[in-house]
Amino acid sequence: MTRWVFGVEPLPQSLEVASLLRRIAGLVMSLEAPDAALDRLTAALRSAEAELARIAPRYLTPRVGRATDSDGRVYIDHARDIGAFNPCFPTYAIRVDGERASGTVSFPIAYEGPPGVVNGGFLAVFFDSVVQHHNCDLGIAGKTTAMNVTFRRPTPLASELSFEIERSVADGRITSLARLARDGVVLCEAEVRAVAGDLAALPEVSPRRDRA
C-alpha cells in the first residue's frame, strides 16, 4: 500500500507558527478590554509581514504541473494533518485501520460560532480533512465531489471529541461515512464522496528551491 503524497513537507518553523497563531487567536478573542500587549502584537506582526513579503515568491500560483518552472510558490502536501501548518484548519489525532479510521479532536476558541459551540463550517472542514487523510493513507484518494453534513447536537468547544470513519470504494468512487461524538453521543455526521484518482497520473510538483 502506497501512501498518497502530493506536494512538499511544510517547514518545521511553519508547524510552530501555525500552532502559535491558533493559540494567540483564542487569547485575543478572550480579552475583556484593549491592552498594550495587543498594540505590541500588531506591530510585531506588521513587521514580520513586511519582512516575509520581501523573501516570499512574488506570485501566489503554486508551482504544479505547467507552472512547475514558474516564479510561483511551493505547494505544501495537503494529504494529511493540514492544521499542523495552516492555523485555519483544525488539528486531530487519527488511527487508520484499513477501511475504518478513528481518532480524537478538540476545537479551540478560534473555531467558535454560537456561544461555546463550534461553527458548522469548521465541522465540514474537519470532516473533509480527516476523510481525505484516511483515503490518502490507504493510497486511494482524489478530489471531494460531494459532502452532506447532518448536525444533530451542538458541538462544544475545548472538549475532547471522538470520531469514526467507514469507507467503501466502488466504480472509481470513494464513499466515506464519518461521525463525531462526545461520550458516545453523536453530535454530527457526514457522508463524503470523492473520486478514486490515480497517484501516478498527478502532475509534477516543484521542490523547494535553493536560495543560496
**pLDDT number for residue 24:** 97
String of DSSP letters for 45-76: HHHHHHHHHHHS-S--SB-BGGGTTSS-BPPB
For range 27-48, the mean pLDDT: 97
pLDDT in tens, 150-202: 999 999 999 999 999 999 999 999 999 999 999 999 999 999 999 999 888 89
- Superfamily of domain 12-199 in the CATH hierarchy: Hotdog Thioesterase (3.10.129.10)
**pLDDT number for residue 157:** 98
The values of phi and psi at residue 115, to 5°, are: -55, 120
For range 118-138, the mean pLDDT: 98
Residue 78 grid cell = 495537503
Alpha carbon distances (Å) from 171 to 67, 100, 143, 193, 199 = 32, 19, 15, 12, 17
**pLDDT number for residue 208:** 94
Which residue, 210, 208, 201, is CA-closest to 68? 208
Could you give the CA distance from residue 89 to residue 83 in angstroms, rounded to a whole number? 4
pTM of the model as a whole: 0.94
**pLDDT number for residue 200:** 86
pLDDT in tens, 94-121: 999 999 999 999 999 999 999 999 999 9
pLDDT in tens, 39-86: 999 999 999 999 999 999 989 999 999 999 999 999 999 999 999 999
Which residues share a beta bridge with 148?
Answer: 191
**pLDDT number for residue 177:** 98
The answer, yes or no, to whether residue 210 has pLDDT greater than 90, is: no
- For the chain, domain boundaries: 12-199
pLDDT in tens, 140-151: 999 999 999 999
For range 21-44, the mean pLDDT: 97
